[in-house]
Amino acid sequence: MKKINLYLLEYALGYIVRYRAKNIFIGVVLTLLIAVLASFFFVQNSLQYELASTLDAQPQIIVTNQKAGRDTTVDEKMIEKLLTIKGVGDVTSRVWGYYEFKHMNAKFVIVGIDTFENQYNTTLADIANNGELNASSMLIGEGVQKILNKSYYRDYFNFMTPDLHVQKIYIAGVFKAATTLESNNMIVMSKDTARKIFGYTSSEATDLAVSVTNPDELSAILVKIQNLFPTFHVITRKDFKIALQNQFDKTSSIFLTLFIITLFTFFMIVYDKSSGLSSEEKKEIAILKAIGWKIEDVLKARLYEGLIISLVAYLSGIILALFFVYVLNAPVIKNIFIDYNDMTNDFVLPFVVDYETLFLLFLLSLPVYMFATVIPSWRVATLDADEVMR
């Protein structure tokens, strides 16, 4: 393995300084392009990780009742019938729904739990085990706390029921779930209290969460449930993942368009760089050849130059992207993937390091730019020095 020629490296640094206006411009453009690409990749990777973690916490099977093609409430009496199906391990009624806080343009997710029931979610299980809930209290997520504090609701909140009555619920504390996307806009209270806010009767639930003893029998159990309740809509965790992933992919098409535009801009700069050298640069190469430099020496010096500029641009772009996404929380780019009017866009992106993304950006910056630097120099270096000087 050949050692780095320090003299050629020193010359490359001097070359960058001599033509600093052009090199600074190229370096800044490359840095910004890499930062934009990296920011989109980082946001996408973080959201995909958060989405996968959130969906993994969902029940294996969700059973909903439908009327006129729309979801409606389900009677808890159906639990006994579902438990008669062989392979069904447990069935839990879920009382949950959305509550719109129009004053702050926010939408809360209210989840009702009973402490004696088996919880399908580790976050809800932890809350149930703490035993801090009663008929007039609730636990709120960190995002809900921020919204309520802005409206000076620090000890309680007044919910408006469908029959236009005010339900005053005290804030017992703030919980933090495994994923911020899950708990950012969530409010947890007892099922009876949630039923009052939604206008449910004492036996009504939003849907039923079904767990199976053997995951391999999931398809067979789905058929049995559908045959037992033909009007019910039965979906699995996998179906839920596919549906949300498709929705995520539609939004990602905007990212793909911007990604292509950014790549096109990047390669246009590379093409302009490789289209030729200025007369001063050509004359400098001719002088080097005249004083005894070999073609190999000229190409190595230009290779060092391209390596320095592209490496500095790559590292600077990655650092800028990390700061923008994980410190500033990607205020503009994140809204492309998440509904701007939904308070879930206020959650903090989890730090996810994807080495494949970093390697891809490395390949899109360093080798391409170094290649574009060496090719025009090689063309000039292969000519006679006298011809170039003339």
HEC sequence for 26-40: HHHHHHHHHHHHHHH
Question: Does any domain span residue 239?
Answer: no
Calculate the CA 80 to chain-centre distance. Answer: 40
- pLDDT band for position 91 (cuts 50, 70, 90): very high
Residue whose tokens read 């809204």:
335
Convert the pLDDT of each residue in 263-293 to its tens digit: 677 667 666 665 556 677 777 777 777 777 8
Question: Does any domain span residue 32?
Answer: yes
Which amino acid type is present at position 199? Answer: G
Contact indicator for 306, 377 with CB cutoff of 8 Å: no
Residue whose tokens read 């806080």:
101
Least reliable range by pLDDT among 7-16, 53-62, 212-221, 258-267 = 258-267
Question: Are both 86 and 50 inside the same structural domain?
Answer: no
Convert the pLDDT of each residue in 307-353 to its tens digit: 898 899 999 999 999 999 999 888 877 776 665 445 454 677 888 88
Question: Does any domain span residue 257?
Answer: yes
Tokens of 113: 């739990």
Question: Are both 86 and 36 inside the same structural domain?
Answer: no
End position of a domain, from candidates 205, 236, 268:
205
Question: Does any domain span residue 235?
Answer: no
Convert the pLDDT of each residue in 357-367 to its tens digit: 899 888 877 88
pLDDT of residue 1: 43
pLDDT of residue 200: 95
Least reliable range by pLDDT among 53-57, 199-203, 224-228, 270-274 = 270-274
Question: Are both 255 and 372 inside the same structural domain?
Answer: yes
Question: Are both 306 and 339 inside the same structural domain?
Answer: yes
Tokens of 50: 């958060």
Which one of 131-135, 169-173, 177-181 scores highest in mean pLDDT? 169-173
**Among candidates 313, 320, 315, 323, which has minimal Cα distance to 351?**
323
Strand pairing class (207-212; 61-67)? antiparallel
End position of a domain, from candidates 176, 205, 234:
205
Question: Does any domain span residue 62?
Answer: no
Rounded to whole angstroms, how far apart are CA atoms 98 and 23? 55
Q: Which domain holds residue 186?
A: 74-205
Question: Are both 201 and 126 inside the same structural domain?
Answer: yes
Question: Does any domain span residue 64?
Answer: no
pLDDT of residue 341: 46
Contact indicator for 63, 188 with CB cutoff of 8 Å: no
pLDDT of residue 192: 93
Asked if residue 198 has pLDDT above 80, the reply is yes
Question: Are both 78 and 41 inside the same structural domain?
Answer: no
End position of a domain, from candidates 205, 227, 254:
205
Question: Are both 92 and 168 inside the same structural domain?
Answer: yes
Backbone angles phi, psi at 260, to 5 degrees: -65, -40
Contact indicator for 185, 106 with CB cutoff of 8 Å: yes
Domain count, the chain: 2
pTM: 0.75
Task: Give the SS3 label for residue 211.
Answer: strand
Instruction: List CB contacts of 133: < 8 A, sequence separation 6 or more.
Output: 113, 115, 127, 139, 172, 188, 189, 190
Question: Are both 97 and 185 inside the same structural domain?
Answer: yes
Task: Give the SS3 label for residue 113.
Answer: strand
Contact indicator for 111, 205 with CB cutoff of 8 Å: no
Asked if residue 191 has pLDDT above 70, the reply is yes
Calculate the CA 148 to chain-centre distance. Answer: 26
Residue whose tokens read 């001097």:
14
Question: Are both 249 and 341 inside the same structural domain?
Answer: yes
Question: Are both 278 and 380 inside the same structural domain?
Answer: yes
Least reliable range by pLDDT among 69-83, 214-228, 292-306 = 292-306
Question: Does any domain span residue 223?
Answer: no
E strands along the chain, which residues? 61-67, 70-72, 74-75, 88-101, 106-113, 137-140, 156-160, 166-174, 186-190, 204-205, 207-212, 232-236
Question: Are both 125 and 39 inside the same structural domain?
Answer: no
Question: Are both 253 and 370 inside the same structural domain?
Answer: yes
Beta bridge partners of 110: 97, 187
Question: Does any domain span residue 216?
Answer: no
Residue whose tokens read 């950014």:
262
Beta bridge partners of 97: 110
